[in-house]
């Protein structure tokens, strides 16, 4: 149980284009989803908290106009990297929680984004 599907697993795009990453909870309802960025051999950096039906809460230093988050249903959140640049190349991971402070986080497999 508690499976989170993230798609695509990898994507290569040209500078200036936009990329959408999907995060789905397959067998539970995720009231809250989190988006992280992970650089090689580093920890997970929380980018934003996505709550179903409301605006995402972005962490300090994360541009909300560049990283658009939509959480329109209890099973789907999307992250769109707009006007991507090479410095946006990274590993993006989502996690979903069933709700409550004591609910564990279930992670997607991550998306390796390369911007050329």
Partner 1 sequence: GQQVMQIPQYQHVQEGEDFTTYCNSSTTLSNIQWYKQRPGGHPVFLIQLVKSGEVKKQKRLTFQFGEAKKNSSLHITATQTTDVGTYFCAGRNAGKSTFGDGTTLTVKP
**Chain contacts with partner 1 (rule: CB under 8 A):** 32, 34, 41-44, 46, 49, 93, 95, 101-102, 104-110
Burial of 35 (0-12, 13-18, 19+ CB in 10 A): buried
Nearer to partner 1, 14 or 41 (CB): 41
DSSP three-state, residue 29? coil
Q: What is the rounded CA–CA span in Å between residue 13 and residue 26? A: 27
Note the helical H segments in 26-108: none
Cβ of residue 7: shortest distance to partner 1, in angstroms? Answer: 13
Cβ of residue 65: shortest distance to partner 1, in angstroms? Answer: 22
Nearer to partner 1, 10 or 63 (CB): 10
Nearer to partner 1, 64 or 85 (CB): 64
């Amino acid at each position: 149980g508690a499976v989170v599907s993230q798609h695509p697993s990898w994507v290569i795009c040209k500078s200036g284009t936009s990329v959408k990453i999907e995060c789905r909870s397959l067998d539970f309802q995720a009231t809250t989803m989190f988006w992280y960025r992970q650089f090689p051999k580093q920890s997970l950096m929380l980018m934003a908290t996505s709550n179903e039906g409301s605006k995402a809460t972005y962490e300090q230093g994360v541009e909300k106009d560049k990283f658009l988050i939509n959480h329109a249903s209890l099973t789907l959140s999307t992250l769109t990297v707009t006007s991507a640049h090479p410095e946006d190349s990274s590993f993006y991971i989502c996690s979903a929680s069933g709700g409550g402070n004591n609910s564990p986080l279930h992670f997607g497999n991550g998306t390796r984004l390369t911007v050329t």
